[in-house]
Structure 1
Amino acid sequence: MKLMHISDLHIGKRLNEVNLLDDQAYILGEIISMAVKIKPEGILIAGDVYDKSMPSAEAVKLFDVFLSQIAELDIPCFVISGNHDSAERIAFGASIMSKKGVYMSKVFDGQINPVVLSDDYGDVNVFMLPFLKPVHVKQLYQDVEIESYQDALDCVIKHMDIDTTERNILVMHQFITAMNTEVERSDSESISVGGSDNIDVSVFEAFDYVALGHIHKPQRIGRDTVRYSGSPLKYSFSEVQHVKSVTVIELKEKGDIIIETLPLIPRRDLRKIKGTIEALLTYENYKDTQLDDYIHVTLTDEEEILDAIGRMRQIYPNIMMIEFENNRNQTVNSRTGAESLDDKTDLELFAEFYALQNNEALSDEKLAIVSELLEKIGGDLR
C-alpha cells in the first residue's frame, strides 16, 4: 500500500505582502499530477491547511478544488487541522465528505477512531489527531494530571484502541523532538517560547508510521518512520536551502516500510542574491537564472544608490526584500554596540535608530523636527 504524505499547505499565505495563491495553486496541481502517476491508496495531509483560522474565500475555493480532484481520482484523503487552522472549520461537513473518501478530522472529543484501509497484507488503521493543546485534553480527562504537551499526548494515545499486531498510521500536527536530534526549524513556523510545546518521539512506539506536520523542512525525527513532510513551498527566506518534497511511504507486511521523497519544483522559487548593483545587473551574471523568482537582494555598494529597488526590478520583477551590507553599516552597528546607552541623549539614540533602519543619517531638517518633538515631550537633549 502506497501513501502520500504532505502538510503545511498554508493556503492563502502572503509573504512580504505578496499573495502566493497562484504559486500554491500551481504546486497543488503538481501534487495532483504526482498522485496520478504514483496511484497511491491514500493521501495524508498533516495540518495547517490554511494560513489563518479564518481563511479567505479564495483560499477555501482552492482547497475545495484540490480535494475535489483527489476525490475524482478515487483516492482516500485524510486531513487534520493544524495550529493555524480552525478545528471547527476543518471538521465542517466531515460526515458527508467521508462518503466520498475525504476524511476530515473532527473537533477533539476524546475519541479517535481509525479509518481502516486494506491490502494483501491485511488492515492499515489510520488515526487522525488534530492539533491539541494541554487544555483541550485536560477538559476531557479531569482525573489525569496534565501539565504539558507531553502529558497531553501520552494521555490521548493511552486512551486509543490500538491493535499493535496490525499496521497503524498516525497523522498529527505537533512539535516532536528526539534525544540527540536537532529539529531544523524556520522563521515561518509558530514557535513556543523555550520549546514548551515539544513532545518526545518515544510516545509513538505503537505506530508503524507517524505523518507529522508543523515543521517546514522535510526530516526524520528519532527514527525513519516518524517524519515531517515539510511544506510544499518555501514560506520564508530562512528556507532558501530547503528541498521541498512529497513523502511517499510503501507499506508491506508489518515492519516493512519503504520511504521515498519526491521533489516539488515550484513555479517561482525563493532566492537570495548578493553583490554590487552593477554586478547583479550584468547580463552574464543573471542570464541562466530564473528572473521571476522571489528575490532577497543584499547590495554591497559603498556609495549611495538612487532608486536601487527600481533599478533592480527592471531585471528581477519579484524582489521581496532589499538590504545593504557595507562598511558604513558595519561602522554604525559596531559603534552602537560598543558605547553605553546611558551616555547618549534621546536625540542621539533616535538618530542611530533611524540610520540603522534607513541606511542613511538624519538630515538637518529632520533632526530639527525630532529635536522639537523631543523637547515638547520632555526628552533628554542635553
Structure 2
Amino acid sequence: MRLLHTADWHLGRSLGGHSLQDDQAHLLAEQLPAIVRDTAPDAVLLAGDVFDRAVPPAEAVRLLDEVLSALVLGLGVPVVIIPGNHDEARRVGFGARLLAAARLHIVQSPCGEAIPLGDREGRRATIVACGYATPLALAREPSLAEARFADHDGAFAALAPLLHGLCPAEGPRVLVAHAFVAGGAESPLSERALSVGGTGAIDAARFAGFDYVALGHLHRPQSLLGGRLRYSGSPFPYSVEEADHAKSVTLVEIGGEDAPRIEAIPLTPRRGLRVLTGSFAALRETESRAREDYVALILTDPVPIPEAQRRLAEVFPRIVGLRYATERAGTGQFATAGAAARIARPLDLFGRFHAELRGAPLPEEARPALVAAIEAAEAAGH
C-alpha cells in the first residue's frame, strides 16, 4: 500500500514581512497534484499545521480548497487531515462529516478516528488519525476521565491503547499525529514549541505497534525507529534556520513484516531562501538568481553602513533579515520578536518569577495546574 505523507503547510505564512502565498501555491497547487498523479498513492496524509494561525487569511483558505479539490475531486485520491498546534481544530474540521462522503477525512478528536483504506488490489489497512493531543485536551475526553498525566508523554501513554483499540486485529496500522517525538531535530525559530517547560517530548516507544507513523511538527524531513516514524517536513523553509533543508514529501510503501519503504520526493520552490555573507559593496554587486530569492544577509563590514537594508533592498527585494558578522554571539540572530515569543518556555519563566518572589523553587505539585493553564491560554491564542 502506497501513501503520500506531507505536513506543516503553514498556509498564510509570511517570511520577513513578505507573503508566501504565491510560493505555497506553486508548491502545493502545482507540484503536489503532479506528484500525486505520477506516484498514484492510495491516500494522501496531511499531518497538521495546515494553516499558520488559528484564524487564517481568506487567500490561505482558498488555496487549501484549490489543493484539496485537485487531489480529491480531480484525481480521486482520499486525503486524511489532522490539525496541528498552529491550527484551530474546529475551523479545520468544519463540515468533516459531509466531506468524509467524498473521501476527504478531517479528524479533530485527540482520541482519534479509524479510517479503513483499501488499495487497487484489495489489500486493506487502517489509518488512525489523531487530532493534536495536548494533556489538557485529553483530560476533557470522557474515555480518559480517570487517567492522570502531567505532560505530553504521559498523555500519549494513556492515549496509545485507545488508538490501537480503533484498529481491527489484522492488517497494517498507520497513525497520523502531530507531536514532538524525543530525538527529533528541531528548527526552533519556525516550530512553535509544543512543550511547556520541557514537558512536550513524547518517547518514541509510545508509538509501538504501528507499522508507520506519519508525523507533523518538525520541519526537517527525518526518520526515527528505522523509518517507522517519520516527519515529512514542511514544503518550504519557514525560517533562516531552514535555509539548508532539502524540502520534500514522503512516499511510503507498507505491507508485510518489513520496515516501510520510504522515498523522499523533492519539491522545487519558485524562489529559494539563502543566507549570503559579504561586504556591503560586494553584495550590492551580486549578479545571480539570489536577487529573486528570499535572503538573509550577513555584512562583513567592520562598522555599520547607513541605511544598509534599505539600500540593499534595491538589489534584493525579499530581504528577510540582516545582521553584521561582528555582532556579539547571541545578538546577531535573525529572530524576530514573534519568533522569540514562540520558543520561550512560559513555565520556566514562571519558575524564575516564583523563585524571585517567594525565595523558593516552584513546587512540583503546582506544575500540572500551571501546564494546563498555559496550554489553555495558548489554545485560545493568547
Rounded to whole Å, the distance in 2 between the matches of 1:3 and 1:182 is 22
Q: Tell me, yes or no, if the aligned pair for 2:42 and 2:119 is still in contact at 8 Å.
A: no
Alpha carbons of 1:83 and 1:182: their partners in 2 closer, same or farther (altered >3 Å)?
Answer: closer
* Alignment partner, residue 363 of structure 2: none
**Mapped pair 1:171 → 2:173:** no
Q: Tell me, yes or no, if the aligned pair for 1:48 and 1:81 is still in contact at 8 Å.
A: yes
- Tell me the amino acid that sits aligned with residue 158 of structure 1: P
Pick one of 241, 256, 263 that aligns with 1:238.
241
Secondary structure at the aligned position of 1:242 is classed as: coil
Query: Shift of residue 6 of structure 1?
Result: 0.3
Pick one of 75, 79, 82 that aligns with 1:80.
82
* Alignment partner, residue 358 of structure 2: none
Q: Tell me, yes or no, if the aligned pair for 2:11 and 2:52 is still in contact at 8 Å.
A: yes
* Alignment partner, residue 55 of structure 2: 54
Query: Shift of residue 117 of structure 1?
Result: 2.4
Correspondence 1:29-178 to 2 at 5 A? 29-71=30-72, 72-108=74-110, 110=111, 112-120=113-121, 122-139=123-140, 140=142, 141-160=144-163, 161=165, 162-163=167-168, 165-177=170-182
* Alignment partner, residue 296 of structure 1: 296
**Mapped pair 1:212 → 2:210:** no
Correspondence 1:224-373 to 2 at 5 A? 224-282=227-285, 286-326=286-326, 329=327
Query: Shift of residue 251 of structure 1?
Result: 2.1
Secondary structure at the aligned position of 1:261 is classed as: strand
**Mapped pair 1:184 → 2:199:** no
Rounded to whole Å, the distance in 1 between the matches of 2:290 and 2:82 is 35
- Tell me the amino acid that sits aligned with residue 49 of structure 2: D
Q: How many matched pairs? A: 323
Query: Unpaired runs of 5+ in structure 2?
Result: 332-382
Secondary structure at the aligned position of 1:217 is classed as: coil
Q: Tell me, yes or no, if the aligned pair for 2:31 and 2:267 is still in contact at 8 Å.
A: yes
Rounded to whole Å, the distance in 1 between the matches of 2:38 and 2:204 is 33
Rounded to whole Å, the distance in 2 between the matches of 1:233 and 1:38 is 21
Runs of 4+ in structure 1 off by over 4 angstroms are: none
Rounded to whole Å, the distance in 2 between the matches of 1:113 and 1:40 is 19
- Tell me the amino acid that sits aligned with residue 170 of structure 1: L
Query: Shift of residue 288 of structure 1?
Result: 4.0
Query: Shift of residue 124 of structure 1?
Result: 0.9
Rounded to whole Å, the distance in 2 between the matches of 1:54 and 1:31 is 24
Alpha carbons of 1:111 and 1:30: their partners in 2 closer, same or farther (altered >3 Å)?
Answer: closer
Rounded to whole Å, the distance in 1 between the matches of 2:306 and 2:149 is 59
* Alignment partner, residue 223 of structure 1: 226
CA-to-aligned-CA distance 1:236-276 (integer Å, 9 cap, x gap)? 00111111111110124343521010111111111111111
Q: Tell me, yes or no, if the aligned pair for 1:43 and 1:76 is still in contact at 8 Å.
A: yes
Secondary structure at the aligned position of 1:297 is classed as: strand
Secondary structure at the aligned position of 1:320 is classed as: strand
Query: Shift of residue 146 of structure 1?
Result: 2.1
Query: Shift of residue 112 of structure 1?
Result: 2.7
Rounded to whole Å, the distance in 2 between the matches of 1:253 and 1:122 is 11
Query: Shift of residue 186 of structure 1?
Result: 3.0
Query: Shift of residue 182 of structure 1?
Result: 5.2
Rounded to whole Å, the distance in 1 between the matches of 2:112 and 2:241 is 38
Rounded to whole Å, the distance in 1 between the matches of 2:272 and 2:76 is 31
- Tell me the amino acid that sits aligned with residue 316 of structure 1: F
TM-score by length of 1: 0.80
Rounded to whole Å, the distance in 2 between the matches of 1:320 and 1:10 is 17
Alpha carbons of 1:20 and 1:213: their partners in 2 closer, same or farther (altered >3 Å)?
Answer: same
- Single out whichever of 238-247 and 218-227 deviates more from structure 2: 218-227
Rounded to whole Å, the distance in 1 between the matches of 2:196 and 2:259 is 38
- Tell me the amino acid that sits aligned with residue 175 of structure 2: L
Q: Tell me, yes or no, if the aligned pair for 1:121 and 1:252 is still in contact at 8 Å.
A: no
* Alignment partner, residue 201 of structure 1: 204
* Alignment partner, residue 16 of structure 1: 16
Rounded to whole Å, the distance in 2 between the matches of 1:70 and 1:182 is 30
TM-score by length of 2: 0.80
Larger Rg: 1
Alpha carbons of 1:287 and 1:95: their partners in 2 closer, same or farther (altered >3 Å)?
Answer: same
Secondary structure at the aligned position of 1:52 is classed as: coil
Secondary structure at the aligned position of 2:291 is classed as: coil
- Tell me the amino acid that sits aligned with residue 56 of structure 1: P
Fraction of identical pairs, as percent: 33
Rounded to whole Å, the distance in 1 between the matches of 2:255 and 2:122 is 7
Query: Unpaired runs of 5+ in structure 1?
Result: 334-382
Q: Tell me, yes or no, if the aligned pair for 1:309 and 1:322 is still in contact at 8 Å.
A: yes
- Tell me the amino acid that sits aligned with residue 270 of structure 2: R
Query: Shift of residue 319 of structure 1?
Result: 1.4
Query: Shift of residue 31 of structure 1?
Result: 1.2
